[in-house]
Every structure is written in C-alpha cells, then in structure tokens.
Amino acid sequence: MNHQDVAEIAETANEPLLLQQARALLSGERDRIANAANLAALIFTSVDDINWAGFYFSQGQQLVLGPFQGQPACVRIDWGAGVCGTAAKQGCTQRVDDVHEFDGHIACDAASRSEMVVPLMIEGQVIGVLDIDSPRPARFDEQDQTLIEALARVYIQSIDG
C-alpha cells in the first residue's frame, strides 16, 4: 500500500456519506453533462428542505442552464447578475440567507427563500456554477457550504473540462 492509497482511505473514512456517494456515482464517467445530471439528482433527493439543485455553464458573458432538478428555471443569466452571476463573476461562493434581501436576485421559483451558489473553477477559470435553493430562510450554514464546495470539487475532478 503506497502513500496515496493510505491518504485516499483516510479521506474516505472521514467524508460525509453524500460526498462518498457522489464520488462513487461520478467515477468511471467523464462526460460533464451526464455527471452534472446525476449529481443534481443525487443532491436533490438527498438534501433536506431544498426545492432546486442544478448547474449553469459559462458561455461568453452569460451562464446557460444545465442539468437540474426542480421547477423550470430561467435559461440565461448575465455575468454578474443575480446570485449565480455574482458567484461566477467573483469566483467565490454566495451563501444567501434571505434571497429577498439580495440585490438583483433572480426568482425562478417564488418559493425559494435561501440559496447557495458555488463557482466551478478549472485552472482559475469559472466554467459554471452549482446552484441550490431552499424554501426555508437561512437553510444553509457553514458546514453545508463546506459540503457543497466539496461536491463541486468532486464534480470538477470527474469531468474532462
């Protein structure tokens, strides 16, 4: 057993179940749409109190809707607009306790009250975002953010770019 094997086993042993499930689900496939679709479905069916989970991918100066679970959503979001466009432009996670207080929030499902958007980075470039909405205000805490950011990394590592 080499160093890397030991490190991988230790990492797996301490990981939340959802992260382990995501690694297993995405392993063996490199297609970014297929893996986004499966990860959106895994998140949507595993995380309590959410009403939307999915992806937007960068295309020029916009984000374009990718695979998701939940109500139909707006297709194109300008770079810098809404919670998603802000996460993409700033290259950092947006955790919003009350979407009504977020200037420029784009309401796709009127039931959404809180939201977390994690940028997907490859070699410093934002290739898209992972977006999760909840009907409960302040649904997401720091621990949730750590978990969703880890899921975003699992996704990035699973695809060819």
Based on CB atoms, which residue is closest to ligand SME, 74 or 121? 74
The answer to whether residues 10 and 138 touch, using CB atoms and an 8 Å cutoff, is no
The answer to whether residues 54 and 33 touch, using CB atoms and an 8 Å cutoff, is no
Nearest to 130 by CA among 143, 106, 149: 149
The residue to which tokens 């959410």 are assigned? 50
Rounded CA-CA distance 140/5 in Å is 33
The least distance separating ligand SME from the CB of residue 144, rounded to whole angstroms, comes to 16
Long-range contacts of 1-10 (CB under 8 A, 24+ apart): none
Phi, psi of 112 (to 5 degrees): -65, 130
Based on CB atoms, which residue is closest to ligand SME, 26 or 66? 66
The least distance separating ligand SME from the CB of residue 131, rounded to whole angstroms, comes to 5
The least distance separating ligand SME from the CB of residue 4, rounded to whole angstroms, comes to 38
Which residues lie near ligand SME (CB under 6 A)?
A: 52, 73-74, 77, 82-85, 105-106, 108, 112, 115, 131, 133
The least distance separating ligand SME from the CB of residue 104, rounded to whole angstroms, comes to 7
Based on CB atoms, which residue is closest to ligand SME, 19 or 111? 111
Based on CB atoms, which residue is closest to ligand SME, 38 or 85? 85
